[in-house]
């Protein structure tokens, strides 16, 4: 029983003395001994000025890059102990990604864009359409199934990106400046979607942002400066998603 309780209490992500140094002619230290844990089901915002190391941190947490020092564990397994094939499997099955620039394929429908991660899922192709339609409905775009990105607004493009991130029902969604290319109304709508995914569907959300009002949709904010965690605080007056439902 004690062992079972210990497994339940184990953080989803454990970061210990994490370091990242880039070597490109000169040596640049992007992360300097960062340490924190993230529990399953948390909504955590990582804030900091440009060049602070927040995007570098997200890339390591999402298995898109490797640390040069320290340790990162996902579900209790060290990144350094996993092969490239194992990392790719975890990234595809348990992680979803949403980026500022949407990263949608042009001249490809909403439905086909959302289905893309299923190419490497091992799920039978005959099931793909139904799965994609379901997550597209979740983000409120079922009326745009056959539209291409050029026919969508910025907010709609980001909803497609969120649906694509959801298609494999990941444990964690990484959102890197998801409102950065949107007007304030569309940005609030996107934060409403992410907060609903966290509160109603239980997805862990890791948000990278430089905007305080965006970060305050999270329940916890890590502030990064010069590659170090300057503060780690709970959000006392967390913004409610339904504040922005018109």
- Side by side, the strands of the sheet bearing 204-209 are 95-99, 172-176, 204-209, 43-47, 220-225, 228-234
pLDDT digit string, tens, across residues 70-96: 999 999 999 999 999 999 999 999 999
- Distance (Å) of CA 109 to CA 96, 97, 101, 145: 20, 19, 17, 7
pLDDT digit string, tens, across residues 197-210: 999 999 999 999 98
Cα angle: 164, vertex 51, 214; to 5 degrees: 50
- What is the Cα–Cα distance from 132 to 122, expressed in whole angstroms? 15
At residue 64, φ and ψ (nearest 5 deg) are -90, -10
Residue 215 pLDDT class (50, 70, 90 cuts): very high
Widest CA span of the chain, in angstroms? 55
pLDDT digit string, tens, across residues 4-62: 344 457 899 999 999 999 988 889 999 999 999 999 999 999 999 988 999 999 999 99
- Give the SS3 label for residue 234: strand
**Residue 246 confidence (pLDDT):** 33
How many Cβ atoms from other residues are within 10 Å of residue 155's Cβ? 19
pTM (2 d.p.): 0.90
Hey, where are the domains in the chain? Answer: 11-245
Which CATH code, of 3.30.559.10, 3.90.110.10, 3.40.50.300, 3.30.479.10, is assigned to 11-245? 3.40.50.300
DSSP strand E in 25-164: where?
26-38, 43-47, 69-74, 77-78, 95-99
**Residue 241 confidence (pLDDT):** 62
């Amino acid at each position: 029983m004690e062992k079972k309780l210990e497994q339940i209490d184990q953080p989803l992500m454990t970061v210990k003395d994490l370091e990242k140094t880039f070597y490109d002619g000169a040596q640049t230290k992007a992360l300097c001994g960062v340490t924190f844990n993230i529990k399953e089901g948390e909504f955590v915002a990582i804030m900091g000025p440009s060049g602070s190391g927040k995007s570098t941190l997200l890339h390591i947490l999402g298995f898109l890059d490797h640390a040069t020092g320290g340790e990162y564990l996902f579900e209790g397994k060290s990144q350094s102990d996993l092969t490239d094939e194992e990392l790719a499997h975890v990234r595809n099955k348990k992680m979803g990604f949403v980026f500022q620039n949407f990263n949608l394929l042009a001249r490809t429908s909403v439905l086909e864009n959302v289905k893309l991660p299923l190419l490497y899922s091992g799920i039978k192709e005959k099931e793909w359409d139904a799965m994609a339609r379901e997550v597209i409905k979740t983000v409120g775009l079922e009326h745009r199934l056959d539209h291409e990105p050029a026919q969508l607004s910025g907010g709609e493009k980001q909803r497609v990106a969120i649906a694509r991130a959801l298609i494999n029902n990941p444990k964690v969604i990484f959102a890197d400046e998801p409102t950065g290319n949107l007007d304030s109304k569309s940005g609030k709508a996107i934060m409403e979607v992410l907060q609903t995914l966290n509160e109603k569907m239980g997805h862990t959300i890791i948000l990278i942002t430089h905007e305080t009002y965006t970060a305050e949709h999270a329940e916890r904010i890590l502030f990064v400066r010069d590659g170090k965690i300057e503060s780690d605080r709970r959000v006392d007056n967390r913004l409610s998603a339904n504040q922005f439902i018109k």
